[in-house]
Amino acid sequence: MRTVVAAIDQGTTSTRCMLFNAAAEVVARAQREHRQHLPRQGWVEHDAREIWANTEAVCGEALEQAGLRAGDVAAIGITNQRETTVVWDRATGEPVAPAIVWQDTRTQAICDELARGDNDRYRDRTGLPLATYFAGPKIRWILDNVQPSGDLAFGTVDSWLLWKLTGRHATDATNASRTMLMDLDTLQWAPEIADEMGVPMSMLPEIRSSSEVYGDVRDGPLAGVAVAGILGDQQAATFGQACLSPGEAKNTYGTGNFLLLNTGATKVLSENGLLTTVCYALPDQDPVYALEGSIAVTGSLVQWLRDNLGLIRDASEVEALARTVDDNGGAYFVPAFSGLFAPYWRPDARGAIVGLTRFVNRGHLARAALEATAFQTREVVDAMNADSGVALTELKVDGGMVGNELLMQFQADVLGVPVIRPVIAETTALGAAYAAGLAVAFWSSTDQISTNWAAERTWQPAMDATDRDARYSTWKKAVTKTFDWVE
């Protein structure tokens, strides 16, 4: 009897393996962090070999924890940090360069060159503005600067792991939609764009649906088990949050924040700085699209308070520090560490703390850092309301920061709509498990996802509208102070 589905959740800072039973309960969970290499200003790298080694290790550890064997696992789903780019040699199976992480800004010159003065040149086809965030220009950078030889393959991390696990070179449409190389209508590579970017088509993986058997694991702890689901992490969280109908949205609070609104079969092209992306693609069904607001720095600002300022020893301490004061004391913290993503897309911006007076202390800074997450989310929600023409009435939330109750209350206050945390907070891993479980009939239909979803806690907005508007407009003024910093 195969009693569980395994989810491999390969994130920006760590790799997890979680086992879920048929009731979508967590049966085991193992996690390992990997190193963040920051060799120069603006560069962020991972070692794809370390990520692969951690993946094998956490899969073994999760099985051991549950006292299960590969034969008990019905299928494996992969979910991953998106856009992070791996290029490897098919003959040796080794990466030819460090993986370039989504946060890395080294491709700015390539993006400027491709833009020819119009950052939206590829938006109609790919749903994306030209920005360092996406994978295509990262491939080009590796080809230009490492000049690797051999039989080269490109993959986002899902594709790298699938290849290591099964030997198949494929990806799913959600991950492919983040490369800037995929046509959003056909869900196929766009050869003209690949050509302009200088990316050989021979390097690209096959684009498949998000839920099908891609292959069986060749060896290691999960040998013989089918890999049957792939979703980019934010799309997986959307799936796991049961946002399965048009108009439903979730916001994930992790390293960055990612708000996705399901727009159904309609590909809505944003006029307000959002991305258009594939939400999920199930076999024999029309693809489902989403509008996405991506914010680069939210939880990582809390890490920065911890690691770079030493204000706290653990991320969870930020709430107590923020509660030592009643408000932000007039300080606003705009964490434009790698420019600003949605809705501004300003690579020239850099971080700023403004409104400082002698009154401001560490408690105010902690509060300003948390408020930055909520204000940035408000800006994305405003953009989404404008693009979709329908105002959001509630927000489902998940991710590492949603344990912070001060932040969740402030978020409801700043948005003026209820914020809802589900019982199963591990929505990313769960979404990948669902995609895999559906492909092998471990779960019979997506209706089961909706049935299993339940709210754990809801925060109601409590701030009066005048106060809210005053703070929000001060935030917007603070944002303008970060522009035009990098020449």
Output the CA angle 440-442-446, nearest 5 degrees.
95
| Of 268 and 408, CB closest to ligand ADP | 408
Q: How far is the CB of 380 from ligand ADP (least distance, A)?
A: 17
| Of 193 and 325, CB closest to ligand ADP | 325
Q: How far is the CB of 322 from ligand ADP (least distance, A)?
A: 9
Name the DSSP letter for residue 37.
Answer: B
| Of 11 and 77, CB closest to ligand ADP | 11
* Residues that bind ligand ADP in the complex, under the rule CB under 6 A: 11-13, 254-255, 299-300, 302-303, 315-316, 318-319, 399-401, 403-404
For residue 398, give the 3-state DSSP assignment. Answer: strand
* Identity at 155, one-letter amino acid code: G
Q: How far is the CB of 224 from ligand ADP (least distance, A)?
A: 29
| Of 10 and 388, CB closest to ligand ADP | 10
Instruction: Tell me how far CA of residue 342 lies from CA of 381, 384, 487, in angstroms.
Output: 10, 11, 20
Asked if 250 and 455 touch (Cβ cutoff 8 Å), the reply is no
Distance CA 205, CA 88 (A): 12
Distance CA 164, CA 228 (A): 15
| Of 53 and 315, CB closest to ligand ADP | 315
Q: How far is the CB of 328 from ligand ADP (least distance, A)?
A: 16
Rounded to the nearest 5°, which phi and psi values hold at 24?
A: 65, 25
* Identity at 453, one-letter amino acid code: W
Q: How far is the CB of 461 from ligand ADP (least distance, A)?
A: 20
Q: How far is the CB of 255 from ligand ADP (least distance, A)?
A: 4
* Identity at 89, one-letter amino acid code: D
| Of 12 and 108, CB closest to ligand ADP | 12
Instruction: Tell me how far CA of residue 3 lies from CA of 63, 66, 199, 450, in angstroms.
Output: 12, 11, 43, 21
Residue 307's H or E segment, with its range, is helix 299-307
Nearest residue to ligand ADP on Cβ basis: 400
252 Cβ neighbours under 8 A, 6+ residues apart: 233, 234, 237, 258, 259, 397, 398, 399, 427, 428
| Of 56 and 233, CB closest to ligand ADP | 233
User: Which residue is it, tokens 């993946």?
Assistant: 55
Q: How far is the CB of 282 from ligand ADP (least distance, A)?
A: 24
Q: How far is the CB of 100 from ligand ADP (least distance, A)?
A: 17
414: exposed, middle or buried (C-beta count within 10 Å: 0-12, 13-18, 19+)?
buried
For residue 131, give the 3-state DSSP assignment. Answer: coil
| Of 6 and 296, CB closest to ligand ADP | 296
Measured from the Cβ of residue 448, the count of other Cβ atoms closer than 10 Å reads: 18
| Of 129 and 299, CB closest to ligand ADP | 299
Q: How far is the CB of 392 from ligand ADP (least distance, A)?
A: 22
